[in-house]
Amino acid sequence: MNNDIHYMEQALELARYAEQQGEVPVGAIVVFQNEIIGKGWNQPITNSDPTAHAEIIAMRDAAKKMGNYRLIDCDLYVTLEPCAMCAGAMVHARIKRLIYGTPDPRSGAAGSVFNLTNSQQLNHRIIVEQSALTDFCRDILQAFFAKKR
């Protein structure tokens, strides 16, 4: 559990960086054998790329380091519950465990709106846990969107 908090704090730092870049503040970390092998933060605006979500970037980074698109036995920490695109990519990558910061009641695909991470129709299921740092993850997003209004 202490490692989970440590890694989620790292994801929160990346979310803050995304916000500084004018992006929605979401950060993600991929961990293999207690080592961070992938980092990502939201970059769709910066990169003009609708797939440049924090989770996708972190998995791309990890896959390059692993030399394999399959991220077997890896954990993914992300400050916001993944969307359908990211959850689907996690299933394809064979992520072992997903730890997310705050639920996304509008488009969350790890149980809130959809449950792609544990769908019996798919060939891989992911252990899903909500972080102990939910309040911090929620607050950074709420503050960001409050400034936009």
Q: What residues are labeled active site?
A: 55
| CB 81, CB 112: distance < 8 Å | yes
Phi, psi of 37, rounded to the nearest 5 degrees = -115, -5
What's the rounded Cα separation, in Å, for the pair 14 and 29? 9
| CB 24, CB 141: distance < 8 Å | yes
If you write DSSP's letter for every residue of 74-139 in order, what string do you get?
EEEEEEE---HHHHHHHHHHT-SEEEEEE--TTT-TBTTS-BGGG-TTSS---EEEE-TTHHHHHH
Q: How many CA atoms lie within 13 A of 23 on its CB side?
A: 23
